[in-house]
């Protein structure tokens, strides 16, 4: 299958951009970026995605609202939350809201590889 027809990872800025991009490139994961939660929901409703990577803090909506909106737009869509040194309670709350995983930005390479690679294999 040519890379252009593969489902993409949607990556919501403002994540620590450069590093996420490098890691997605290294995983040969096709990806798109978007500016915030609302745009992510619009994109998720219009095309199939492998997963969505989002920061824990968004300017235009809360993470739990985003997860709910993404699941309404694309049921079953995996949402991976990237957080800067999150507390266990924060991670658990996001998981209970329906996130697929929470990745600590200080362990981005192992965390992303561990969580995104299996989804890419299934995409």
Partner 1 sequence: MKTETPIVYIVDDDEAVRSSLRMLMRSVGLQAQALGSAREFLDAYDRRQSGCLVLDVRMPQMSGLELQQQLNQRGATIPVIFISGHGDVPMAVEAMQHGAFDFLQKPFRDQELLDRVQRALALDAQSRATSAADAQILERLKSLTPRELQVMRLVTLGKANKVVGADLGVSQRTVEIHRAHVMEKMQARSLAELVRMVLDTEEATHKP
Q: Which residues bind partner 1 (CB under 8 A)?
A: 86, 88-89, 91-92, 95-96, 100-102, 104, 107, 111
Q: Which is nearer to partner 1, 39 or 90 (CB)?
A: 90
Q: How far is the CB of 48 from partner 1 (least distance, A)?
A: 22
47 three-state secondary structure: coil
How many CB atoms within 10 Å of residue 104?
14
Provide the edge-to-edge strand list for the sheet that holds 49-55: 31-34, 8-12, 49-55, 78-83, 101-104
Q: Which is nearer to partner 1, 66 or 94 (CB)?
A: 94
Question: Is the alpha carbon torsion for 118, 120, 34, 43 positive or negative?
Answer: negative
Q: How far is the CB of 115 from partner 1 (least distance, A)?
A: 8
Q: How far is the CB of 101 from partner 1 (least distance, A)?
A: 5
């Amino acid at each position: 299958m040519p890379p252009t027809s593969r489902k993409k990872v949607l990556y919501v800025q403002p994540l620590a951009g450069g590093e996420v991009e490098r890691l997605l490139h290294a995983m040969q994961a096709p990806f798109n970026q978007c500016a915030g939660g609302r745009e992510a929901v619009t994109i998720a409703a219009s095309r199939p995605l492998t997963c969505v990577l989002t920061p824990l803090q968004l300017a235009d909506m809360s993470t739990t609202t985003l997860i709910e909106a993404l699941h309404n737009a694309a049921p079953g869509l995996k949402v991976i939350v990237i957080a800067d040194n999150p507390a266990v309670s924060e991670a658990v709350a996001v998981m209970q809201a329906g996130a697929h995983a929470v990745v600590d930005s200080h362990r981005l390479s192992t965390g992303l590889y561990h969580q995104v690679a299996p989804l890419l294999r299934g995409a």
